[in-house]
Structures are given as C-alpha cells and as structure tokens.
C-alpha cells in the first residue's frame, strides 16, 4: 500500500520541491521526463499507473484520488531488490536497440549512414595539469566499463580489460599561433569515427595554450554513453581530478540490459502501436539533396536567463511544459519547410528505470525514443498547437515501453522500405546542467558542443547552461538545399525570442513564413507591368488594312492566303453568323479540320463579336454534344463539303439545322464587331476530374497579355513564320495563330492528317523557312530527329516537362536557334512563365525550370493554408495577374474553388507542384494528381522521372503505377539495369521503380502529350509477365532459405527484395550472422545486404569480395547436401 506521505515524498524527490495538494504541478516544473521517473518509482513499489493518467490530472490531490480508485496497489508486489552485481560481464553481450542503430548507421550502405554517433565538447579557460588530468582519465576508464567497450562485427559488444593507449593526447601549443592547430583538432574531432571495434569509444585530448590556459577536447561515441552518461562522466572526471575517492558502482550496464526492466509492459505497448501503424505519417519532407555528405555543422543561440524565465513562466501559465512549448515552435518551423503538414518527430528519452540504487551512476546508452506526431494542417493559435502536441506526447508516452525505434522498424516492415525519423528534438530541460559547477571550475566553460548521428538530418537540442538556455542545432548541412538550414534556424530562434517577449500573444498563430528577404525577390519579379490590353484580332485586321498583300497563312507546298484574302473570308463568315442570330458574347463552336478554312472560321467568330469554342474532329459525338451544351453554343461552324484541294466548305449549324451550305457568296461585314479586351475570346475544354469536360473561358486581354509579352521579348515581327502544329482545341494553337498575326508574320498549317507526321513538319519548315516554333517538347524532339530545321531562330516549349537534353539537341540540329521553356495552364492564357536556356544546361537541373513570370503575371507557391512557401519547398503554384481566365463555363462552383481572391488579388490555383529557387526561379515539380502513395510513402512521379532522366543514356522517362507498384517507361540507349543503379544514387529506396520498361518512343495523346494510360497498360503487362526467378546457385539457395526462415516466408525468389518483404536492420544482422555460421566465414559484411537488397545481387557481391574465388559456392553446396540428409545419414557419413 502507498501512503499519502510516501506519494508526497516520491513527488518531492522527482520535482525537487514539496507541492501542496491543489498545486498545478506543470506550473511547478513537472514535465514528461519527471513524470516518467515518477511512474518508474511507483512501479518499483508495485503501483502500476500509466504516464498519461498522471499527465491528465496535474495535481497531487487528483493523483491520490486516481490511486485510491485503483485500490492503490494494482500489482500486489514490486520486483525484489537486486543484489550487487558484477558490473563487468565475462563475455560478449548484445547491443541495445539504440546501440544497434548507431552501429548499423556507421555503414555506408545505410540511408543517411556512414556516420558515427558521437558527442564532442570543448571546454576553455582553465590551467589544467596534464599529469593529474591523465591520471583522472585513467581512473574514469577503470570506473566505467563502457568506456572500454568494443563492438564486434557480429553485432555484439564486450568489455576490454584495458583501454588501448594513448589514454590522453596532449598538444603543447604554448608557443606560436595556436589558432590553426586548434581549428584542425576541432575539424577532426567534430567529424571523426572512433574505431569502436578496437575499444576506442572515448577520445580525451588536452591543448596547452599561451598564458597558462588550456582547452579540453572530449569526444565519446554514443554507443558507449548517452548524453546523461556524458554528464556523469564529466562529474566523475572533475572529482577524480580533485583527487576524490569515489564510491564503487555496484551495478552495470550489461546487467541493466539483461534485467530488461521494461519487458513486462512492452508487449502491451507493442499492440497499441500496431493498431496505429497504418495511419502513422512519415518524417517531414524537407528540401534535401539526393546524395548528402556527412558533415555536421552547429547552429547555436543562447537565451539569456531573463528571457528563459519569461518564456518558462508563460508556458507554465498556459498549462504547457516549457519543453513542449519549445517543441511546438520547432514543429511549426519544420512544418513551414516540409512539403507535408503531418509528420513524425523523433524525441529521445533519457530515462533509466530505477531498478538499482546505483543505476544513475552507470555510464551506458539508456536512450529511448518516442515518435511524436505533429499535424500542422490546421491554422491554430500557438498555445493550442503546443497543447495538442503535449497531448500527443502524453498519449505516445503512455506506451513508450515499446520504443520509437521499434515502431519505425514495424513501420518499415509494413511499408516494405526503411522508414527513418531523421528530424530529432532533444530536450534536456530539468535534467540539470550538462556542465556542473565543479566541471566548469576545473576545466572551464563550454566553448564548442556538437553531436552527430547516423540517419539524422537535424538534431535540435535544448540545454540549460549558465542559468539560460542553449538552443543548439546539429545539422547535416550538405543534405539540405542552399540556405535552408540557416533560414530554418533563424526562424526558430526568432520565434522563441518573440514568444518570450513581454506581452507576447500566444493566442495567435505563430505565423512561420518564408523569410522576408526571399519574398522581396519574388515580389520584384511579380511587379512587371502588363502590356496595354488589346483584343486578339486587332493586330490581324490592322495588318490586313495596312499590308493586305502580305502572306498570312501558308499550307501544303504552295498554298498561301494574304492578310486581305483571309480578312475577307473571316468577315464573310462573321456576316453569316450575325445573319444567323449570333450576337456579341455568344459562343460558336468551330468543328473543322486543320486548314485555312478552320483559321478563317476562328477569325470570323471573333469578328462577329462572339467567342469561339474549338471542338476537335476526332472527338466522339457524345463528347462533342457535351461540350456544345456546356459552352452554351449559339451556332456551330462545320464542314459541309470538300472544296478545292480538299479544303472544307464551311457551313453554319444552329440547333442542328444547317442554315448555310457555304459562305463564299455571303456579303462580308464592313468591319469586325467591336468588342472589349475583357470579353471572352474563346472557351477551351479540357479533361475534368469528374469525367465531364470543363470549359475555360479566356478573355481577349488575358490571351494578348501572354502573346504581347512574347512578341516584345523575342522581337517576333513581320518576317517571322510560325508552324501551327498544335490542334485548335489545344491552347498552344492560340499563340500559333495570333502571335504571328499580331506581329504581321505568317503561320504555316499542316493538314489535319499531317499533325503527327514529323517528316512532313520538317518538309514544311524547309519549304516555308519557318522561323518560330511553339510546341510541346515531344513535338520538338520528333521534328529534330526527322530533319535539320536550320531556318528556326526561336523555339518556345510549353505544355509538359522540358528535358535538359533538348537545348543541346536543338543547337546541334538548328545552330543559333534560341531555346525557351514556358510554363502555364489553359486557365492562365497559354503561358505564364519564361526560362531561356543559353549555353550549357546547369548540372543541378533535372528539367528546365518554369523560370520567372511574364509581364503582368504574378506567381506564388503556397502550402495548404495559402502561406508562401520558403525557397526549395514544394507547394501549389498559384498564378495571378492579367493572364488569368474568367472561370469555367456554366460551373460557378468549380470556378469558386479554383479561382480565389487573396489580399485583393485574383489567383488561379493550378494544382501544379512547384518550388522557388533562391534567385526567384520557379521549378515545376509535377501535378498534385501525379502524386501517388506506395506502401504508405507519398511519391511525386516527377521527381522519379527527373532522376531517371539524369542518366546520360535516357532521353525521356515516365513514372507510373502498375498494379500498385512503382514502374517507369524509358526511352534509353543504355542498359536498364545501369539506369536503375544510377537512380538508386539519387532517390530513396521507396522511390526507385521496381520495373523499368524500355520503349522506342513514348505514346502521345492527340495534343502531343505523353499518353500515361497507354504506358500504364504496357507496364502492367510487363509486370505480369516478369519471371519470378528461382535461386540458381548453391549460395543463392542457402541465402534464400535463411531469409525465408528469418522473415517467416514460405519461399523467397532470387529477385525478392529483402526490405520489401519486411526486413530491417536487426533482421539483416541476423541473416548475415546465420549465413556466416552456415558457410564458416567472417568475411560477409552486413552492408552488402543493405546495398544490394535482392538474393541474386547480394550473392554476386559476396562472391566478388571473396579472397579465395569459388569457396563460398563450394561450402554452400556442402551445406545444402548436409541439410538434405537425415541424422542417420550424417552419422554414417561422419564415421
């Protein structure tokens, strides 16, 4: 039974002061770590009470009432008191979970691996006696066995009798300039990987400096000691330096692991986490580079005692622990730079179960962890954000006997890929100062602290130092895009300072946004004035009056219409439409094949004051009817007969009745019907997500904003000839026609049946000396492979990804031609952004960027809450300004959803993913609807395609899903295996396609875009036919059998991916250990399984590493033979 006084005393021991019955314990400093300590003490008394139950009732009186309801003793008897133990085990003992993660993480085959977990500190300012110091270090190593631990390559550890020499290295820098040598030592020790296999887990150095001072350098590998053990070590070192005789420690780390004090609750907590695995998010998706280096840099900020006091007092007043208030700031900052608002943070726990009176004096790795979910999808007041995060911690903390590492491994098995939690928040608040008074007295003040760990990108630490707070970030800087780490840290420290200021408003959202300096760059690019508003036809009819004999349209080998002739045709059509009842603002469908008649019809509709609605001749009748109904067409221009040279005769259809069978004899209008630039010029229907086509209404002024910019920017003039290859119902055709006509140039029209004939395009380019080409990238590529279009001076590409190989190909086939990539949507009048490529393509481009806005156009990249994204962070592209369409015809609900007003500006939400570079350049990342989820991982298909196209042999790549698995089609000249190997160096494992389908050319839709449906069907067929190879060699058969047994599978094929089947780092260690045992060898490194992943590739790599070629296969064959024998047969063979 637990008495009131015993509960009161236990609380006082943990809290550091006595509390009254009704005191709010959070305001008195009770935090998560102290709650965990208290539950541990109660557990020793036989009281089973959960962490979360105490957290929900933060007063002593409520705790007593809760315990009373439970009868005070749910578990009748606590564990028996432990006898003093031999603290040094005789032989090897297993690694703890976190130790194993550190050991595996040293391997270069691990994602974010090849890094040692260690903590390095420099202390400055005191004169230190080298002899006394070395003797103190020797005493420290004798006292703590884990400072003599060696980790074997089989994943076990053992205590060595002595530490390898030297115990201390002394640098005498008292003469001359010590700065360079101190910098060298810092650089070396900050990034070193101590040889833990030899028992070197602790590195102590002493630099003697001019003026009688010294610098102490201390580095410890975290496989031997966690942060709290570091504090124990420093305190003991200071005591030993003083000559103090310390009491012996009667308990050891190996014994703690063997006792496994959390075993009883682990299974219950495992089940709790298992029920939630499928819904857990992944880590934050921060802007990182594909192949990060392993250099860790330190960012630090000191919060003075008075600021610390204000912040902590305010947190207590709001019912939030200071640690969770700081964690909420961290989560807000991480969320601002994360592509997804819901993610996991990794919270280390420095918690030792009180199983022995001496456990707090033991050096070892007692670190646990909690996976803390943060969800920033909702705009909340800061205090509410902190409270929710604290509630999440209390819920997860109640089940922390199943560690965060175990949760990650289960999540990895579920998803078939390694899941990491590389963003770490480490709070050492209320754990005491890392550098006690005695430590600072003998060794000086901490001058430098840095830690690093494998599979960690960012470790944010909060530590109490000299009465204030040290806010320290250890950042794997090469992993982040330029400037990201610095901007995040500045936002973090600024927010904490803001919240700690007198009168800070915690009831408002924190409002972490893109840095102001970056927003100024974007605003400047968005501030370009629009050209004066004009109508689409104004330029054409001006040229028709001024230069009636100039060519306006070419077709075939010798067909030409002058401006005067084309204007006459258009005005006759306009006259017929007006006579048929068409009024200004009406919609008229144009349903003619590509021809001079088609473009005359377009001009005729506009000259009648109406808007044209292009409907392709290949459209099914039912869809044509839906488009007419959706647009509300008043009349249709249709072919009624074949005229000269196959050109159709145009008829007018009103409600299905043909009112004119030809307009050649109609009296033409004297001049076009006057319209304003803000009136609708055309309604272009695109595919809708519901299956119904959606009609985009674009005004004259919006379309001319785009056209006018490009005419001026690239000096398009009367001598230019454009190739009008795009279909009329594809918005690039608007530029094809009205850009040359506005400038006084001409357009060349392929016939309808020539729109996909690249050889014919090449002939037309040569025949008519085409100088301007506006098209999708695939059309340019087809044209360049069909001929040498040397007359081209300007190529404008839009409508799809623009590959980085195209500029060089264009220069080779059409020397001197300008290469321009354009970005935009139908809803923003053809094109909105521009990026010219001159010279060599930068190496860090995976596709040509969207570039910068055209004149009169503004762009934003925003998160789910409409906030501007920082540089390098993916978000939705919004486009505003003069080019924005009016909306969707007859669909006010969809219009209101996609066209929004923000701060007085009208924007179109494109649904495209984009990001900003620091110079204001926009990069297109793909469609939001091209994001897929595979085994719980969110994958942007565009990123996969960019990585595949980075291989020099790949001309084009398209990623897609086939049967729930990631696949890709590639147009490549090289070996598909080499392409995949290259992609593995650029992408995380879950983003590497499982199937690569080589194709000679990509299938295209009618508009020249990639036909993803056709490719998906092709990939699904390839996947279904792919052979499931059986293990072929003896070595493959042995490894396949061991993997199947370890993973609980009936069989494993030679092409099976170990991690896709549910393997993880612990199971990989088990597999390799069993394989070594089976083959009687120690020369099989675990890293090969991480790097190669499949049975066949792993075995090939193992045989490549053999010193005696053929031995592994020979031993494997014997093993298989023995395994197939009965016990009697084995006995007979042996003797």
* Domain membership of residue 502 as a residue range: 267-357+369-426+456-512
CATH at 726: 3.40.50.12780
| 520 alpha-carbon distance from chain centroid | 25
d(CA 815, CA 799): 24
246 and 302 both lie in a single domain: no
3-state secondary structure 514-529: CCHHHHHHHHHHHCCC
Angle at CA of residue 900, ends 899 and 901, nearest 5°: 135
**Range 1030-1052 burial, b when 16+ CB lie within 10 A, else e:** ebebbbbbbbbbbbbebbeeeeb
User: Are the C-beta atoms of 854 and 709 separated by less than 8 Å?
Assistant: yes
291 and 404 both lie in a single domain: yes
3-state secondary structure 638-702: EEEEECHHHCEEEEEEECCEEEECCCCCCCCCCCCCCCCCCCEEEEEEECCCCCCCEEEEEEHHH
Q: What is the DSSP string of 120-133?
A: EEEEES----HHHH
- Find, among 201, 210, 195, 215, the residue nearest to 133 by Cα: 215
CATH at 104: 3.30.559.10
CATH at 383: 3.30.559.30
708 and 575 both lie in a single domain: yes
Could you report the per-residue pLDDT of 941-982, keeping only the tens digit for each? Answer: 877 888 888 888 888 888 888 766 788 888 888 888 888 888
686 and 550 both lie in a single domain: yes
User: Are the C-beta atoms of 800 and 778 separated by less than 8 Å?
Assistant: yes
- Find, among 110, 108, 96, 98, the residue nearest to 1064 by Cα: 110
User: Are the C-beta atoms of 201 and 223 separated by less than 8 Å?
Assistant: yes
User: Are the C-beta atoms of 628 and 589 separated by less than 8 Å?
Assistant: yes
d(CA 135, CA 617): 92
493 and 549 both lie in a single domain: no
d(CA 797, CA 720): 17
Any idea which residue has 């456990």 for tokens?
A: 359
227 and 274 both lie in a single domain: no
Which residue, 222, 257, 292, sits at the end of a domain? 257
Query: Quick check: helix, strand or coil at residue 1044?
Result: helix
1016 and 987 both lie in a single domain: yes
593 and 468 both lie in a single domain: no
User: Are the C-beta atoms of 821 and 807 separated by less than 8 Å?
Assistant: no
- Domain total in the chain: 6
283 and 218 both lie in a single domain: no
154 in a structural domain: yes
| Axis-axis angle for helices 382-397, 32-44 (nearest 10) | 20
CATH at 972: 3.30.300.30
913 in a structural domain: no
Tokens standing for 465? 């130092």
d(CA 713, CA 719): 16
CATH at 1044: 1.10.1200.10
User: Are the C-beta atoms of 822 and 831 separated by less than 8 Å?
Assistant: yes
d(CA 202, CA 120): 10
pLDDT value for 972: 87
Number of H helices, E strands in the chain: 36, 41
755 in a structural domain: yes
Angle at CA of residue 1125, ends 1124 and 1128, nearest 5°: 165
The Cβ of residue 993 has, within 10 Å, a number of other Cβ atoms equal to 26
Mean of the per-residue pLDDT values for the chain? 87
532 in a structural domain: no
Angle at CA of residue 58, ends 55 and 60, nearest 5°: 125
894 in a structural domain: no
604 and 710 both lie in a single domain: yes
Which residue, 831, 853, 875, sits at the end of a domain? 853
- Find, among 626, 540, 538, 636, the residue nearest to 582 by Cα: 636
Query: Quick check: helix, strand or coil at residue 876?
Result: strand
User: Are the C-beta atoms of 248 and 159 separated by less than 8 Å?
Assistant: no
186 and 209 both lie in a single domain: yes
31 in a structural domain: yes
The pairing of beta strand 746-749 with beta strand 694-699: unpaired
567 and 586 both lie in a single domain: yes
Tokens standing for 2? 């637990």
888 in a structural domain: no
Can the peptide bond before residue 166 be classed as cis, meaning omega within 30 degrees of 0? yes
Can the peptide bond before residue 537 be classed as cis, meaning omega within 30 degrees of 0? no
Which residue, 216, 238, 257, sits at the end of a domain? 257
pLDDT value for 465: 82
Could you report the per-residue pLDDT of 1055-1106, keeping only the tens digit for each? Answer: 877 877 778 778 888 888 889 888 888 778 887 887 788 888 898 888 888 8
- Cα diameter, the chain: 117
User: Are the C-beta atoms of 461 and 323 separated by less than 8 Å?
Assistant: no
635 in a structural domain: yes
Which residue ranges of the chain lie beneath pLDDT 70?
Answer: 1-2, 4-5, 8, 12-41, 43-46, 48-57, 60-65, 68-87, 291-292, 642-646, 656-657, 659-665, 688-691, 929-938, 963-964, 988-990, 1005-1009, 1020-1028, 1135
Tokens standing for 707? 């056209």
């Amino acid at each position: 039974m637990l008495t009131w006084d015993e509960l009161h005393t236990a609380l006082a021991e943990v809290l550091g002061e006595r509390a009254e019955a009704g005191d709010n314990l959070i305001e008195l400093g009770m935090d998560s770590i102290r709650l965990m300590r208290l539950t541990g003490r109660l557990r020793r008394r036989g009281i089973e009470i959960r962490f979360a139950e105490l957290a929900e009732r933060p007063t002593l009186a409520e705790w007593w009432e809760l315990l009373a309801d439970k009868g005070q003793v749910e578990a009748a008897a606590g564990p028996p008191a432990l006898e003093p133990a031999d603290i040094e085990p005789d032989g090897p003992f297993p690694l703890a979970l976190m130790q194993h993660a550190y050991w595996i993480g040293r391997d270069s085959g691990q994602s974010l691996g090849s890094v040692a977990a260690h903590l390095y500190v420099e202390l400055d300012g005191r004169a230190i006696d080298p002899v006394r110091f070395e003797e103190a270090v020797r005493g420290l190593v004798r006292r703590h066995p884990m400072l003599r631990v060696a980790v074997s390559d089989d994943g076990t550890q053992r205590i060595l009798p002595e530490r390898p020499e030297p115990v201390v290295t002394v640098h005498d820098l008292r003469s001359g300039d010590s700065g360079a040598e101190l910098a060298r030592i810092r650089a070396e020790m900050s990034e070193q990987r101590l040889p833990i296999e030899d028992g070197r887990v602790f590195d102590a150095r002493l630099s003697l400096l001019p003026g009688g001072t010294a610098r102490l350098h201390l580095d410890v590998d975290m496989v031997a000691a966690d942060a709290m053990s570091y504090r124990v070590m420093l305190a003991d070192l200071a005591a030993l330096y003083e000559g103090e005789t310390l009491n012996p420690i009667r308990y050891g780390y190996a014994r703690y692991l063997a006792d496994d004090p959390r075993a009883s609750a682990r299974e219950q907590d495992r089940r709790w986490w298992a029920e939630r695995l499928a819904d857990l998010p992944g880590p934050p998706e921060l802007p990182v580079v594909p192949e990060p280096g392993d250099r860790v840099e330190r960012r630090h900020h000191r919060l003075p005692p008075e600021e610390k006091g204000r912040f902590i007092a305010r947190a207590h007043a709001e019912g939030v622990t200071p640690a969770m208030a700081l964690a909420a700031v961290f989560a807000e900052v991480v969320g601002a730079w994360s592509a997804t608002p819901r993610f996991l943070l990794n919270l280390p726990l420095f918690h030792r179960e009180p199983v022995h009176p001496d456990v707090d004096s033991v050096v070892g790795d007692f670190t646990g962890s909690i996976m803390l979910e943060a969800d920033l999808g909702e705009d909340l007041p800061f205090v509410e954000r902190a409270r929710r995060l604290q509630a999440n911690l209390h819920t997860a903390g109640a089940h922390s006997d199943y560690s965060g590492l175990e949760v990650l491994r289960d999540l990895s098995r579920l998803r078939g890929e390694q899941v990491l939690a590389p963003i770490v928040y480490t709070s050492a608040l209320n754990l005491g100062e890392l550098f006690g008074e005695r430590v600072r007295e003998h060794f000086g003040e901490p001058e430098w602290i840095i830690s690093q760990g494998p599979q960690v990108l960012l470790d944010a630490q909060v530590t109490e130092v000299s009465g204030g707070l040290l806010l320290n970030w250890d950042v794997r800087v090469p992993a982040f895009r330029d400037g990201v780490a610095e901007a995040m840290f500045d936002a973090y420290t600024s927010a904490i300072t803001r919240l700690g200021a007198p009168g800070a408003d915690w009831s408002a959202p924190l409002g972490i946004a893109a840095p102001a300096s970056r927003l100024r760059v974007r605003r400047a690019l968005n501030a370009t004035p629009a050209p004066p508003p004009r109508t689409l036809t104004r330029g054409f009819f001006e040229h028709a009056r001024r230069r009636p004999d100039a060519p306006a349209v070419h077709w075939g080998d010798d067909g030409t219409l002058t401006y005067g002739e084309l204007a006459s045709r258009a005005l006759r059509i306009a006259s017929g439409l007006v006579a048929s009842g068409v009024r200004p603002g009406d919609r008229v469908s144009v349903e003619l094949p590509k021809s001079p008649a088609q473009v005359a019809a377009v001009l005729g509709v506009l000259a009648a004051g109406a808007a044209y609605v292009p409907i392709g001749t290949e459209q099914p009748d039912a869809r044509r009817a839906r488009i007419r109904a959706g647009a509300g067409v008043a009349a249709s221009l249709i072919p009624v007969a074949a005229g000269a040279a196959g050109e159709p005769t145009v008829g007018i259809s009103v409600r299905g009745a043909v009112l004119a069978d030809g307009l050649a004899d109609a009296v033409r209008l004297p001049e076009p019907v006057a319209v304003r630039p803000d009136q609708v010029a055309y309604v272009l229907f695109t595919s809708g997500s519901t299956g119904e086509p959606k009609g985009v209404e674009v005004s004259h002024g919006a379309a001319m904003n785009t056209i006018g910019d490009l005419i001026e920017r690239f000096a398009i003039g009367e001598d230019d000839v454009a190739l009008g290859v795009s279909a009329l119902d594809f918005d690039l055709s608007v530029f094809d026609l009205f850009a040359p006509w506005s400038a006084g140039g001409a357009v060349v029209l392929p016939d309808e049946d020539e729109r996909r004939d690249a050889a014919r395009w090449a002939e037309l380019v040569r025949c008519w000396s085409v100088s301007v080409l506006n098209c999708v990238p695939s059309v340019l590529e087809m044209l360049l492979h069909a001929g040498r279009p040397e007359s081209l001076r300007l190529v404008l590409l839009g409508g799809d990804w623009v590959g980085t190989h195209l500029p060089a190909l264009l220069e080779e086939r059409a020397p001197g031609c300008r290469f321009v990539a354009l970005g935009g949507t139908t809803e923003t009048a053809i094109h909105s952004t521009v990026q010219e490529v001159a010279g060599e393509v930068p190496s860090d481009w995976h596709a040509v960027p969207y570039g910068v806005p055209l004149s009169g156009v503004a762009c934003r990249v925003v998160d789910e809450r409409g906030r501007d994204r920082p540089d390098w962070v993916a978000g939705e592209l919004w486009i505003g300004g003069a080019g924005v369409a009016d909306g969707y015809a007859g669909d006010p609900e969809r219009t209101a959803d996609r066209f929004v007003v923000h701060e007085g500006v009208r924007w179109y939400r494109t649904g495209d993913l984009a990001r900003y570079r620091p110079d204001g350049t926009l990069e297109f990342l793909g469609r939001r609807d091209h994001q897929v989820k595979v085994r719980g991982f969110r994958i942007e298909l565009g990123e996969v395609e960019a990585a595949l196209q980075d291989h020099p042999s790949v001309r084009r790549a398209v990623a897609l899903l086939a049967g729930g698995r990631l696949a890709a089609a590639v147009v490549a000249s090289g070996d598909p295996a080499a392409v995949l190997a290259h992609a593995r160096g650029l992408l995380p494992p879950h983003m590497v396609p499982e199937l690569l389908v080589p194709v000679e050319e990509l299938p295209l839709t009618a508009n020249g875009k990639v036909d993803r449906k056709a490719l998906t069907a092709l990939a699904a067929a390839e996947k279904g036919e792919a052979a499931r190879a059986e293990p072929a060699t003896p070595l493959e058969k042995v490894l396949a059998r061991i993997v199947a047994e370890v993973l609980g599978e009936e069989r494993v094929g030679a092409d099976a991916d170990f991690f896709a089947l549910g393997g993880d780092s612990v199971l990989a260690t088990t597999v390799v250990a069993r394989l070594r045992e089976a083959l009687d060898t120690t020369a099989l490194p675990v890293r090969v399984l991480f790097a190669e992943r499949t049975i066949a590739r792993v075995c090939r790599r193992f045989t490549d590493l053999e010193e005696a070629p053929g031995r592994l296969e020979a031993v494997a064959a014997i093993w298989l033979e023995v395994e197939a024998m009965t016990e009697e047969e084995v006995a007979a063979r042996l003797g």
